Chain A
Amino acid sequence: MMITHATSSFSDPVLVRYLALGAVLFAIGLVGFMARRNMIMIFLSTEIMFQGVAINLIAFSRYYHNADGQSFVIFLLTVAAAEASLALGLVVMLFRHRQTLNVDAWSDMQG
């Protein structure tokens, strides 16, 4: 069967490449999360990090022939959607208060 053949060719070096790609995406998202000053961009960067994690989960699911990884990605997408809706609601509310998306405008909210 063709699928069985393709499954057996998913070896360690291939898995490591996918994991490395996930790590690279996570790092890029982390840079954006820490360095951007626009609130919307900060949340968009967290979505990049989510996708890096999702690649890891799917690659391991493929490697172990186990659907658990794909189920986890379903939950990850659920949480990402919930997070995005709440975060964007918060961004809209904060923008109405100070008419800016700059996070530094809210730096008086400390301690």
Chain B
Amino acid sequence: MDYPLIIATACGAIALYLMMPRGQGWLVKLGALIGVLALASGLSYLTHWASVQFPAQHAGGPGIFFYAFALIAVGSAVGVVCHPKPLYSALYFVLMTLAIAGLFVLLMAEFIAVVLIIIYAGAILVTYVFVIMLASSSGVAAAAVDYDRISADPLIAVLVSFLLLGTVLETLFTHRPHGFIAAGSTSLAAQGTHWLGLAALGKNLYSQYTLPLELAGVLMTISLVGAVVIARKNAPQTHMLGLGDMPAE
């Protein structure tokens, strides 16, 4: 049992519970304070954990950029979940996507970073913002509607997901003498260190995953047709569907 880890997770849970929208501003500020405390204790636990478990490798930490991007990502993810206005949530989501793209660059996945920005920040989020502005009569200036201002069952949601998070983190931070390499898998030295980035990705995608790639294209086509059919303006009448007499609304 790692009590500091459990305490940090519990602090995070309390912070998120307090920050869930329920129409009271000072609770959000208190929650943000506890959330900062939770993040700080989590970071100090990480430093302590690395210095105890990996004394030799402690010098080679992930560096300042990881922490900067990670803090932006977590903070704006909390903003997405907790902001009472959906449009601001969508903008926080763009911020989170940009931070995660930065993390992907740090992980030497530049192509994925660019694709993430183009697809998420460029395409998906534009669709979300369109639907938000189309479907909610309230724009940016209008007050948030009731079902956005007050969330449903934040206690159960926070309990369930932070129980999951605590379990995952507890498993993650138990020391493995042989790292994450499972027995029987080839070691890194045997594979060589030819990391070619985009070239390796392309070769992998078009040799090993050719059929799944084609299936992904089929999936995109099907979802395109499905979205057009579902969101058509003149919805099909019930007699056309052959459903007979549906209950009137």
Contact = CB atoms under 8 A, between A and B. Distances in A.
Interface of A: 3-4, 6-9, 11-21, 23-38, 40-41, 43-45, 47-48, 51, 54-55, 58-68, 70-71, 73-75, 77-86, 88-93, 95-98, 100-104
Contacts of A101: 135-136, 147
Nearest to A16: B172
Nearest to A17: B62
Interface string B125-168: 00110011011100000000011101111101110111011001
B187 to A, nearest CB: 10
A84 B128 contact: yes
B160 A88 contact: no
Contacts of A65: 188, 191-195
Interface of B: 12, 16, 20, 46, 49-50, 53-54, 57-58, 60-62, 66, 70, 73-74, 77-78, 80-81, 86, 89-90, 93, 96-97, 100, 103-104, 107-109, 111-112, 115-116, 119-120, 123-124, 127-128, 131-132, 134-136, 146-148, 150-154, 156-158, 160-162, 164-165, 168-169, 172-173, 176, 179-181, 188, 191-195, 200-201, 203-205, 208-209, 212-213, 216, 219-220, 222-224, 226-228, 230-231, 235, 249
A88 B93 contact: no
A27 to B, nearest CB: 4
Given A3-B195, A38-B86, A81-B223, 7 more contacts: A18-B66, A26-B165, A28-B77, A51-B96, A75-B216, A86-B230, A90-B231
Given A9-B60, A13-B61, A84-B127, A61 B226 contact: no
Contacts of B54: 11-13
Contact of A17 (B66, B148, B220): B66
Interface of B is mostly: helix
Contact of B123 (A6, A15, A81): A81
Contacts of A80: 119-120, 124
Nearest to B87: A40
Contacts of A29: 77, 81
A88 B227 contact: yes
B73 A21 contact: yes
A81 B116 CA distance: 11
A34 to B, nearest CB: 4
